[in-house]
Amino acid sequence: MDYQTYEPHTNLKSIISCYWTLEVPIHTEPQKQRIVPDGCIEMAFILGDDIKRYTSENDFILQPRAMILGQTIEPFYIEPTGYVNTFAIRFYPYGFANFISEPINNLANKETPLNLLFDKEIADGLQQKIINAENTIQRIDIIEKLLLHTFNDQKTIHKIVKNTVDTLLSTNGSAPINSILENNLSKRRQLERNFKKQIGVSPKQLGKIIRLQTALKLMLNQKSKNLTDVAYKSDYFDQAHFIKDFREFTGINPKEFLTDESLKLSTLFYK
């Protein structure tokens, strides 16, 4: 697997985490890969062969070739049908809401074709430009011209939502929501209402996903092999709390994670 990441333009760094590409050669026996939630929304273009997204153990759909991958709160499986070549934009939790009027929670836990969210002519034209581009640098330039132009004219994220996300990111998801809001119940109701609309999940769910990412990075980068130590450094109450959340978002326990063949792709994404 060849996974590469690229930095966004300075004016887009507040909303885009990175651009990434993935190339995987054809395998005679392709294997399902389990994708773990990461709290981000992605715009992805499939440039190689089709990719299956499993909706149950045996049933699947083919992912749209130009799509938005909404927030997910549970793991799911994908499987290549041949050569994998993908180009994608990874938005921060509140990044993508700047570009569409559709409530972000309508995109959760599924793939949405690009031409259902943008003007069909614009979406189809963008897809063709990305396909015809000679390399990743050209693709990034195409995307950035569109996003920079659109970003200037779009709404801004609700201040209370942005402040909450920024605090969750800076505290690795461990800050209690009430403490962020200084125990103001009216702000809590306002936050819950706007959060799902602009982020796609609840503040509590996003905090749990961000905290899990902290634990995964500790494990994947071998900064700590002891699960109790990982739980402590990731601000879980105890190891039982850590294991409970880990299973919720990955479907397995932490000890299985590093040796599970179906998680090879996720380990690349979350390092």
Q: How far apart are CA 32 and CA 53, in angstroms?
A: 9
CA distances 139 to 132, 147, 175, 269, Å, are 9, 12, 37, 20
The pLDDT of 207-213, averaged and rounded, is 93
Q: What angle do CA 230, 218, 21 make, to 5 degrees?
A: 150
Q: What is the DSSP letter of 36?
A: P
The pLDDT of 38-43, averaged and rounded, is 92
Q: What pTM was estimated for this model as a whole?
A: 0.90
pLDDT for res 225: 67
pLDDT top residue among 271 and 240: 240
Q: What is the DSSP letter of 26?
A: -
Residues 68 and 85 sit within 8 Å (Cβ to Cβ): no
Q: How far apart are CA 14 and CA 195, in angstroms?
A: 18
The pLDDT of 141-160, averaged and rounded, is 80
List the beta bridge partners of residue 112: 68
> Which of 27-36, 50-59, 146-155 is the least confident region?
146-155
- Confidence bin at 154 (pLDDT 50/70/90): low
Structure-block tokens of residue 256: 């299985």
Q: Give residue 65's region: left, alpha or beta (phi > 0; psi -120 to 50).
A: alpha
The pLDDT of 220-224, averaged and rounded, is 70
Q: How far apart are CA 208 and CA 38, in angstroms?
A: 10
pLDDT for res 166: 92
Q: Under DSSP, is residue 112 helix (H, G, I), strand (E, B) or coil? A: strand
Q: How far apart are CA 5 and CA 244, in angstroms?
A: 31
Going by C-alpha positions, the residue among 53, 140, 38 that lies closest to residue 88 is 140
- Confidence bin at 192 (pLDDT 50/70/90): confident
**Residue 114 reports pLDDT greater than 90:** yes
Rg for the chain, CA atoms, rounded = 19
CA distances 12 to 64, 143, 149, Å, are 25, 11, 11
> Which of 17-26, 31-40, 83-92 is the least confident region?
31-40
What is the percent of the chain where pLDDT is above 70? 96
